[in-house]
Structure 1
Amino acid sequence: MKIEFLHRDEIDDALWDACINKALNSLIYGYSWYLDEVCDDWDALVYDDYKAVMPLPHRRKWGFTYCYQPFFCQQLGVFSTTETGEALLKAFFSALPAHYTLFDMQLNVFSKPLDGLGKLRTRTNYRLPLIPVYEKIASGYNNNTKRNIKKAEANKIAAFENADPFSVIALYKRHYADKTPEINDAAYDRLTRLVSKAIKMGAVQAWGVYDEHNTLCGGAIFLTDHKNLYYLLGGADDAGRYNGGLHTLFDALIKRYAGLDLVLDFEGSDIEGIARFYAGLGAKPLSYYHLRINRLPWWLKLFKK
């Protein structure tokens, strides 16, 4: 099973994106345009003329090149149009170039590596199929979700699509920057570029939550492809949170897309309170994987455990 290592400038974008589009485990994060926006740089492993591919985002530090998981990119790993079995995964991970002295990435649900390859940790995503009619989906809401939707309605809080995504980003940064210090100004700049590119690709849905004075008090940005709606980012100010703003936003979104062959992908979470919010909308947990392969010299491993 021959797998080629290609630098970014050697990759055929049309063949690459066709593979991601047809992949059995297709995710928006794998498209070349998406990787170009979220990665500092990336190379790839390619099998049999793009029947399967594996992007390798990388950086260089202290003279060592390492693979890392970019912000705003939940899962990568192997994407395949034909198979996702053990033999294929073994071949890809065996082909990881030796010059990547550290591999620290999150892999999609079909890319669970073999035991003994490195330090493996299971992470949790939540997903909600939208193909049933709205009434069927809404019957799966828990009591807290239903109560918050009624609370929003009573307080004249409403959610609408076609909000300005950059206003949503600004609102999020104002109210959540202190809670997410790992997302620095450079990351917010990258997020803005990603959303700008996604708009050009027709792959963005932005929703806003408004009070009775038509003031934006919450919002969310979703990325879209032919299979999924991805909850990229969202939040609310104090009034929006207290009055069930995000509950009514997701209810409006679900009402809008119910009956379509799509899945709402919440992009997490392992955080108990956030997971409870997603589960309250009827979403079900699905595991994916965090793999760490450490080939660093022993004296650097002390700092990168």
Structure 2
Amino acid sequence: MKSIQHLTRNQVDTTKWDQCVQAAPNGLIYAYAFYLDHMAAHWDALVLGDYEAVMPLPWKKKWGIKYLYWVPFTQQMGVFSVKEPAALLVPHFLQAMQGHFKYGEVFLNYDNTGVASAAVHTNFILPLQADYAVIRKGYKTDFIKKNLDKINTSSLYYEPVPEPATALQAYRQAYQDKIGVIKPAEYQQFEQLALVAQQQGWLLLRGVKGKDGHWLATALLLRKNNRLHLLLSTTLPEGRKVFANHFLIDQLIREFAGSGIIFDFEGSDIPGIAHFYKGFGSVNQPYFVYRFNALPWWIAFLLSKQTNN
């Protein structure tokens, strides 16, 4: 096997890096250089050969110790490979990684299977090869179809959201108390990322309005590598009363049915949300989180207290 190089950010050939992610069967938008540059505090890289496989290493530093961490608005990273199956390469990349980092957590993607000590997390996807009528038949009759039948479609309007800030403001308004781990600066970084994605034609903004013209639900999605990622989905209090979230997802599916892309719900391990996503006939495509610690116990304890704050 060819050697795996450790590179700092300024040593990465971003053209070759992005070409690898683009060509990899498991390529995901989070691994592109522009995404990492916007959202990661810092990132290094592991590269196999001439960018035949890559692994981003997002890191922070505390007390002079560099550690790997979860990047906001980023579900999966790990190993992305063009030629060899990624799962076969993961052990080698993890070994190389631990030559440079002694502590942290790595969010491995759905194709990075076989790491026995990794925690398994839920992510639902829905392939949109078939037309809408066929996909609709796969909805769970006792849940989604029943609630969709209750909707007065003449009083709900599915339309584009004008700018990322609108979707982000709705998300923060509805969920800030529940997702306090995301800092104001990280929302600003994500908005800038969304604006770049919009210029590239990768951003999709959709929402549901009521008769009064107020938003009842919004969605911010990124489309790349034949995958439509539902990064932000928000239902405002008035929208809950009229099943605006059901209507929004159903209309997104209707819009992209027959396109052949994969609708990625981006989760969830939360039972209520998982039940909702499963109701649309989606299937679980799990991803994995690998945590490691080769530091003295007392340093690791103090570091974990700091990094979780």
- TM-score norm. by structure 2 comes to 0.93
**What corresponds to 1:69 in structure 2?**
70
RMSD after superposition: 1.7
**What corresponds to 1:137 in structure 2?**
135
**What corresponds to 2:151 in structure 1?**
152
Matched residues, percent identical?
36
- What CA distance in whole angstroms lies between the structure 1 residues aligned with 2:81 and 2:106? 18
**2:14 aligned with 1:13:** yes
SS at match of 2:268: coil
1:110 corresponds to which letter in structure 2? Answer: D
| Runs (5+) with no aligned partner, structure 1 | none
**2:21 aligned with 1:47:** no
Contact 2:228 2:264 (C-alpha < 8 Å) held by counterparts: yes
SS at match of 2:188: helix
| Runs (5+) with no aligned partner, structure 2 | none
SS at match of 1:212: coil
Relative distance call for 1:183 and 1:151 in structure 2 (3 A) is farther
1:291 corresponds to which letter in structure 2? Answer: Y
**What corresponds to 2:126 in structure 1?**
128
Contact 2:164 2:195 (C-alpha < 8 Å) held by counterparts: no
Once the 2 structures are TM-superposed, how far is the Cα of residue 97 of structure 1 from its aligned partner?
4.8
**What corresponds to 1:88 in structure 2?**
89
Matches within 5 A, 1:1-305: 1=1, 2-84=3-85, 87-112=88-113, 114-115=115-116, 119-142=117-140, 143-153=142-152, 156-303=155-302, 304=304
Once the 2 structures are TM-superposed, how far is the Cα of residue 112 of structure 1 from its aligned partner?
2.8
Q: Number of residue pairs matched?
A: 302
Deviation string 1:82-129 (CA, Å, 9 cap, x unpaired) is 1125542222122115331213021011213544xxx42111100000
SS at match of 2:285: strand
Q: Structure 1 stretches (4+) deviating beyond 6 angstroms?
A: none
Once the 2 structures are TM-superposed, how far is the Cα of residue 202 of structure 1 from its aligned partner?
1.5
- TM-score norm. by structure 1 comes to 0.94
Deviation string 1:146-169 (CA, Å, 9 cap, x unpaired) is 233233325712222354321111
Contact 2:80 2:86 (C-alpha < 8 Å) held by counterparts: no
Relative distance call for 1:87 and 1:284 in structure 2 (3 A) is closer
Contact 1:229 1:263 (C-alpha < 8 Å) held by counterparts: yes
